[in-house]
Structure 1
Amino acid sequence: MSILRYLNSLPVFWFILSIPALLLIRSWTVGESIAMDMLHPTGELSARFMIVAMAISPLIVIFGKRGWTDWLLKRRRSFGLTAFGYAMLHLGFYIIDMEEIEAILAEIDAPGIWTGWLALLLFIPMAITSNNASMRWLKAGWKKLQRLVYPAALLTLAHWLLIHDGVGGALAHFIPLAALQLLRTIIIYNRAKSTSPQPEYSP
């Protein structure tokens, strides 16, 4: 196996995706940071990987089949699972920071909190079924299940906006995704319109 092919393999790719998590965990375990310090970076990384995974389909529609879009498509599942992994790490640090279940339950009805919990609950079935066996078992239902990513993304955005004072960071991440999705919708609509049969003119 050549060096380039080795570096491009999925195991190496997974390791690269896990590097930020390893660094954050190390920082916490050696006492350089506390659990509360880990909440923002883990949540932000989860959102970023989710956005990357969601941006791949619009990019393929916009730019067509290219070498780089094919590379992204083959790794879309990895990006999605990585987003879930960082969301679970975010949850873990949140639980450690809160220390007691009573404290967690006391604020669960706050909009900035329940939006995060609901987004995570939507992520769970998508992550569990993100494998070939589930695709074969669920058939057409698999794609419908994976579309839960859209409400999950909206809830993630709401969670981010409500937890932090400023909106700049959240919008800087989600506006490009929204623009890509809008452009994708326009292109698909125009293609369908151009291929639809035109009514015959009768004088």
Structure 2
Amino acid sequence: MKILRKLNSLPVFWILLSIPAILMVRGYLAGDIIAMDMLHPTGEFSARFMIVAMIITPLSVIFGNRQWIAWMMKRRRSFGLAAFGYGMLHLIFYIIDMEALEPILAEFWAPGIWTGWAALLVFVPLAVTSNNLSMRRLKQSWKHLQRLVYIAALLTLAHWLLIHDGVGGALAHFIPLLLLELLRVIIIYGRRNNGLTQRESL
């Protein structure tokens, strides 16, 4: 049982989240992979972990109190921080690939580029405040701040669509999130209407 608890601990979970990054950095340092080839996978992992962190709330509304939901809830901030971490790795490989400041500035205002910078900028306060101390100090404001993730998601989607020729990959990742969020809204709206109807009938 102790072994199972250790395997299910947050440190082990963080190691699992880090494995793709470790493999990518190792491949780059070994000379097997160039920086340009790391842009797409690091960006994808950042988007994936962000989406996973975001779908936990609608899943909890849809399925209610389940053990696997509680397990994901405890790791939601880890998913969010992993998204930020892979976003930073994406930025690092981008800077390495561009080699100098001049070409970075030259393409900065291209729609596919500034949306990526903006998404990462929105992620910064979310990552910085993703700790218990910030939750206690910010109180209700913490939840409002964390809702900026929806803006980050829209910017990430725009960045992905504008950078790549095909839309299939971006839509395959973001459509499930959109559907779950819509279902969440429908369920909450239905519950409120039922509650209002019940009160009116009393």
TM-score w.r.t. the length of structure 2 is: 0.97
CA deviations on 1:92-149 (whole Å, 9 max, x unpaired) are 0000000101110000000000000000000000000000110111111100100000
Q: Secondary structure at the match of 2:165?
A: coil
1:103 aligns to 2:111 (yes or no): no
Return the letter of the residue paired with 1:191: R
What is the rounded CA distance, in whole Å, between the counterparts of 2:73 and 2:201 in structure 1? Answer: 41
| Aligned residue runs from structure 1 range 44-63, under 5 A | 44-63=44-63
Tell me how far apart the structure 1 counterparts of residues 105 and 130 of structure 2 sit (CA, whole Å): 30
Show the 5 A alignment for 1:41-190: 41-190=41-190
Deviations 1:1-46 (A, max 9, x none): 6221111000000001000000000000000010000000000000
How many residue pairs end up in the alignment? Answer: 201
State TM-score, norm by structure 1: 0.97
Runs of 5+ consecutive residues of structure 1 not aligned to the other structure: none
1:48-88 C-alpha deviation (Å, 9 max, x unpaired): 00000000000000000100000000000000000000000
Partner in structure 2 of residue 37 of structure 1: 37
Q: How many Å apart are 1:200 and its aligned residue?
A: 6.5
Residues 6-17 of structure 1: matches in 2 within 5 Å? Answer: 6-17=6-17
Ranges of 4+ aligned residues in structure 1 off by more than 6 Å: none
For structure 1, which segment, 84-93 or 3-12, has the greater mean C-alpha deviation from structure 2 after superposition? 3-12
SS at match of 1:13: helix
User: What is the deviation of 1:199?
Assistant: 4.3
3-state SS of paired residue (2:14): helix
Relative to structure 1, the CA distance from residue 105 to residue 63 in structure 2 (aligned partners, 3 Å threshold; closer, same or farther) is: same
State how far apart, in whole Å, the 1-side matches of 2:201 and 2:16 are: 58
